[in-house]
Amino acid sequence: MEVPWTICMILLLQMLTRTTSDQATLATSCDSCHGEASCLESRERGDSFTSFSCSCRDGFVGDGLTCYDRNLCNNSSCCERGYRWSPDLGCVDVDECSQQSSPCPAHQICSNRPGSYECLQPSSNSRAGLSSQSVQFRCGDAVCPPGMDCIQTDGNARCADPCEHYSVVDDDWRSTNNTSTDIHCDRDIEWRGWYRMFLEQKSAQIPERCIAERRCGTHAPLWITESHPGVLDGIVSRTVCSAWSGSCCYFSTNTVYVKLCHGNYYVYKLAKPSTCSLAYCADGPSLLNQRCGWMMVKENAGRPRSEMKKDSFLTFSEVKEPPVQLTCGRDKLQVGLDLNSTQSFGLDPFSGHFAARNCSRFRVHGDVVWYEVEARAGACGNIMTTNGTHATFGNNLFLYSSNNESFLLPKRFPFSCSYPLETDTSLNVAVRPTLEWERGISGTGVKATASMSLFLDSSYNDTYPAGQVTLPVGSPLYVGVSVEEMDSNLAVVLENCFATHTSNPEDPVRYPLIENRCSTDRRQVSVVQSGSSLQARFTALLFLLGEEYREIYLHCSLSLCDQRRSNCVPVCQSRKLRSVSNSAALKPITTGPI
């Protein structure tokens, strides 16, 4: 029997592309494969779709997206931290969470991440309405409060709010409306920390619905399978899926973390996809909603499609009804139908109404028909139920066939929106307390205790001992003044300082050094500090006061100034400055003899 030539060609191709490893990674195109890898194409479901897989060639090992030289890496480490070398697989992730001894405490959940792991603390704050998927992160020996993560700031790891510490992802090619052939892959990005998405300089979010393949600037768009959290949910985990080969979740999934910030935007802790070419999608600001965002319509069995497991996701060819979008607004519920998609299912997008037949109000925005109903019990047949944490409004949207010439049952789209029963608010008035004491009893205390010292040098650290000090003429005198046991809001001000030949500050024969807070001669006297704290300092040169070598005493009159009410530091623009009157005078102080 003669063997068909096509089978011979396939066998020859397999021999030429033979690899030393059975490991192959599914990819969206041969362009995703490493330069030392072979790409295998295969057909599924007849000739309707081509799938690709990457395998490393002889002498190389890896997943096909990355290949390592077996001989080179056997002699030296080619793997980064968090990965280990495998002679058959190359650099593989170390799954710390699968080890016999978990790296996390018993009450925490170990979550493996590529090259690392995280210790998560399931939130127990049910009173605040936190989701069962809310998580808390470990930071050193402590567990971060709900809504915070262990974030590197200024070189140190500490618990911080990711809403205040994030990087920006503002690639316009991530838009769900982008169908260009310029392909990107997020596996090439080292995702670290938290990210906020923008489109056209406005806040955006990862879509909550299955996005058709070859959109968002990539082959297999990434989307999250569950709704975004509310403010009270803190940080939650969400599963990410990728649409390819007619399936909404074709490649292996990964987990990201999401938080809704008070500025009505989301931040994401993103993870690297499993293969190429996969990239995170972004919905524009017109799709961003205060709480509910986009949701998938429920199946007839009553289970949300976003809650199905990976293997149970419907392929595009199996979808029996058009996707429905739901927005849970502050005062209204909105159900959106894609105009073209709805018509392709033989339904009239403008024929809808809620449980009450007369409630058929709609508006058209772009290619979406939006039906609206008030968020209150009884409106258009709304049913409201409550539990301990949320109030839920539910209704049905009925849509009729485009064939209006015969009797056909309408298509029913059940939907519901849940709102937390607890909320918070802040007063928009700042209340400043004051104390009324003027009309009460009052008295007068003694003056503050002040002291003056002569220091050894300009550091003002060590003082001369008490008694007489002998210094050469022309020496600098480093004089410091301090006030004890007073309110730190007060500052001591050097009002007047002078020298005499006696220890009596009332001696009529005076030689002025500082007058009206300023130096009398800037060449010989410098005010170093005055009016900034309970300490003051000045420097003066030592010369004879007259023509005799007699003992010299220094005296200063001081005042205390309230720094909360005025600037207490003197500004000396000329030789003398008139004294400010908002200071309390102190008893003059003296040091010497010199």
Is the pLDDT score of 320 beyond 60?
no
The mean-pLDDT minimum among 39-53, 193-207, 248-262, 377-391 falls in 39-53
Check whether the bond before 277 is cis (ω within 30° of 0): yes
Check pLDDT > 90 for residue 62: no
Q: Contact, 514 vs 525, CB < 8 A?
A: yes
Tokens found for residue 216: 């968002």
In a domain, 60, yes or no: yes
Looking at the fold, whether 460 and 586 belong to one and the same domain comes out as yes
* Domain final position from 420, 442, 462: 420
User: Which tens digit of pLDDT belongs to each residue from 381-432?
Assistant: 999 998 878 899 999 999 998 877 677 889 999 999 988 888 888 888 888 8
DSSP 421: S
Residues 455 and 564 in one domain: yes
Q: How many domains does the chain have?
A: 4
397/4 Cα distance (integer angstroms)? 57
**Sequence-ordered list of residues with C-beta below 8 angstroms from that of 125, at least 6 positions apart, any chain:** 134, 146
Beta carbons of 34 and 68 less than 8 angstroms apart: no
Asked if the structure places residue 518 within a domain, the reply is yes
> Considering the domain boundaries, does residue 5 fall inside one?
no
- Is residue 48 located within the same domain as residue 89? yes
Q: What is the span of the domain harbouring residue 26?
A: 22-93
> What gap in Å lies between CA 119 and CA 179, rounded to an integer?
39
Query: Is the pLDDT at 273 greater than 70, yes or no?
Result: yes
Tokens of 63: 């997943």
In sequence order, which residues have a C-beta less than 8 Å from that of residue 548 and are 6 or more positions away?
none
Judged on CB neighbours under 10 Å (0-12, 13-18, 19+), 442 is exposed
Cα 505 to Cα 450: distance, rounded to the nearest angstrom: 15
Q: Would you say the pTM of this structure is higher than 0.85?
A: no
pLDDT at 304: 37
101 is a domain residue: no
In tens, the pLDDT along 448-465 reads 888 899 999 999 999 998
- Whose CA is closest to 459, among 396, 363, 547, 537? 537
Domain harbouring 407, CATH code: 2.60.40.3210
Mean pLDDT, residues 18-31: 65
Among 5-9, 34-38, 51-55, 302-306, top mean pLDDT goes to 34-38
* Phi (first) and psi of residue 111, to 5 degrees: -115, 115
Tens digits of residue pLDDT in 513-541:
999 999 999 999 999 999 999 999 999 99
Do 454 and 414 reside in the same domain of the chain? no
Max Cα distance, the chain (Å): 136
Would you say residue 363 lies in a domain? yes
Considering the domain boundaries, does residue 106 fall inside one?
no
Q: Fill in the DSSP letter of residue 231.
A: G
Lookup result for tokens 């290619």: 367
Instruction: Classify burial at 349, counting beta carbons within 10 Å of its beta carbon; exposed 0-12, middle 13-18, buried 19 or more.
Output: buried
Residues 416 and 462 in one domain: no
Rounded to 5, what percent of the chain is helix, strand, coil? 10, 35, 55
Contacts of 396 (CB under 8 A, 6+ apart): 354, 355, 381, 412, 413, 414, 415
Q: Which tokens is 88 given? A: 């058959």
| Calpha distance 460→457 (Å, rounded) | 6
Q: Is residue 17 a part of any domain in this protein?
A: no
My answer on whether 242 and 344 are in the same domain is no
Neighbours of 278 (CB within 10 A): 28
Lowest mean pLDDT among 95-99, 238-242, 508-512: 95-99
Q: Are residues 340 and 393 in the same domain?
A: yes
d(CA 479, CA 451): 11
* DSSP codes, 255-298: EEEEEEETTTEEEEE----SSTTEEE-BB-GGG--SS----PPB
* Final residue before a domain boundary, out of 63, 93, 123: 93
Answer whether 291's CB lies under 8 Å from 423's CB. no
User: Mean pLDDT throughout 106-114?
Assistant: 71
- DSSP states of 467-518: S-----TT-EEEEEEEE-S--TTEEEEEEEEEEESSS-TT-S--EEEEETTE
How confident is the prediction for the chain on average, in pLDDT? 80
Classify residue 141: in a domain, yes or no.
no
Q: How far apart are CA 505 and CA 588, in angstroms?
A: 7
Co-location of 586 and 459 in the same domain = yes
In this structure, the answer to whether residues 270 and 341 fall within a common structural domain is no
Confidence tier at 584 by pLDDT (50, 70, 90)? low
Residue 107 — pLDDT band, cuts 50, 70, 90? Answer: low
- Quick one: DSSP state of residue 176? T
Residue 259, phi then psi, degrees to nearest 5: -140, 140
| Residue 76 binned pLDDT confidence (cut-offs 50, 70, 90) | low
Query: What pLDDT does residue 431 have?
Result: 83
pLDDT of residue 583: 59
Residue 289 has pLDDT above 60, yes or no: no
- Rounded Cα–Cα distance for residues 555 and 591 (Å): 7
Burial label for 355, CB within 10 Å (0-12, 13-18, 19+), is middle
| Closest alpha carbon to 479 in 487, 489, 469, 488 | 469
Q: What is the mean pLDDT of residues 455-479?
A: 91
End-of-domain residue from the set 223, 255, 280? 280
pLDDT at 407 (0 to 100): 78
What average pLDDT does the segment 534-556 reach?
A: 90
pLDDT beyond 90 at 96: no
Q: Do the beta carbons of residue 256 and residue 240 sit within 8 Å?
A: yes
* Pair 458, 416 in one domain: no
CATH number for the domain harbouring residue 466: 2.60.40.4100
Q: Kindly report the backbone phi and psi dihedral angles of residue 15, in degrees, each rounded to the nearest multiple of 5, phi listed first.
A: -70, -40
**Could you tell me the CA-to-CA distances from 337 to 92, 372, 418, 457 in Å, in that order?**
45, 12, 21, 83
Q: Residue 319: pLDDT above 70?
A: no
Tell me the per-residue pLDDT of 130-177, one tens digit each, with 9 for 90 and over. 344 678 888 888 888 888 899 988 888 889 999 989 999 999 999 999
* Residue that the structure tokens 């989307």 belong to: 223
Together in a domain, 414 and 537: no
- Comparing CA positions, the residue from 128, 306, 268, 292 lying closest to residue 192 is 268
The highest-confidence range among 28-32, 87-91, 96-100, 190-194, by mean pLDDT, is 190-194
Q: What Rg, from alpha-carbon coordinates, does the chain have?
A: 39
Phi-psi region of 430 (alpha: psi -120 to 50; beta: other; left: phi over 0): beta
Quote the percentage of the chain above a pLDDT of 90.
28
Q: Do 487 and 531 fall within a single domain?
A: yes
In the DSSP assignment, the letter for residue 547 is S
The CA distance from 266 to 287, in Å, is 13
pLDDT band at residue 13 using 50, 70 and 90 as cut-offs: very low
Whether the CB-CB separation of 279 and 186 falls below 8 Å is answered with yes
Give the residue-averaged pLDDT of 10-32.
58
